[in-house]
Amino acid sequence: MNTGFASLTYLKAQLLAEALRAGTEYDAALTLLGQGVAAQFEDFCNRKFARVVGDTYTVSADRNHLYVPRYPVESVSGVELKTSSADGFLVQPASTIVNTNLESGFVYFSGELGPFWAHLRVTYTGGYWWDITEDGSDSLPSGATAVPEHLRLAWVLQCKEVWNQNDKLGVGLTAEVSKTPTFAKLDLVPQVKSILSGLIRYAIT
């Protein structure tokens, strides 16, 4: 199960005492916590981290470039333009893309493809990959980039901070099993902010 930047088994090994890891009573809370912290990271960094094949990004067409939210980019498979609801999105020729920087998600076009009220849609594959299998049996797809260890470290550190705020004993126990982690109320710890500062996507488009 995907809990953010690793499997549930991995997260349990980081947060629970060894005697508690085989149980399932905290699985729902830990899954929610891990996914919530990952979402908090995406908001802070203004980007999407998870690798998606054939993802789409839609913006106004009055531009000659854009930065897709998932990167590094493996490939850009298509550009489409929508100037009316009647016609819908129309595929643009391959020559529309003049240049790319796959590491930063930058895509440069031959010029502005339409007015501000028209829609430009790019289909691409990008983002970081991580193994979400509980036995660690999956393998890195060809051309994909594994999640950086410093990003995973930041995620673990923040998850521990949130979990410990719900349990002052630091072993992940709660008086009420149904109690949900209050990650939305906790700011990022300074060390986590320091790590994430180098992963921020400053581009708006």
Work out the percent of the chain whose per-residue pLDDT is above 90. 85
pLDDT category of residue 186 using cuts at 50, 70 and 90: confident
How far apart CA 10 and CA 25 sit, in angstroms, is 16
pLDDT category of residue 174 using cuts at 50, 70 and 90: very low
Q: What is the pLDDT of residue 178?
A: 44
Which amino acid makes up residue 184? A
The pLDDT of residue 183 is above 60: no
Enter the pTM of the model. 0.88
How is the chain split into domains, by residue range?
8-48+133-199, 52-126
The pLDDT of residue 165 is above 90: no
Beta bridge partners of 57: 122
Q: What is the mean pLDDT of residues 169-198?
A: 67
More confident residue, 174 or 60: 60
114-126 in b/e form (b: 16+ CB < 10 A) is beeeebbbbbbbb
The H-or-E segment that residue 153 falls in is helix 149-166
Q: Mean of the per-residue pLDDT values for the chain?
A: 90
pLDDT tens profile 77-97: 999 999 999 999 999 999 999
How far apart CA 162 and CA 39 sit, in angstroms, is 14
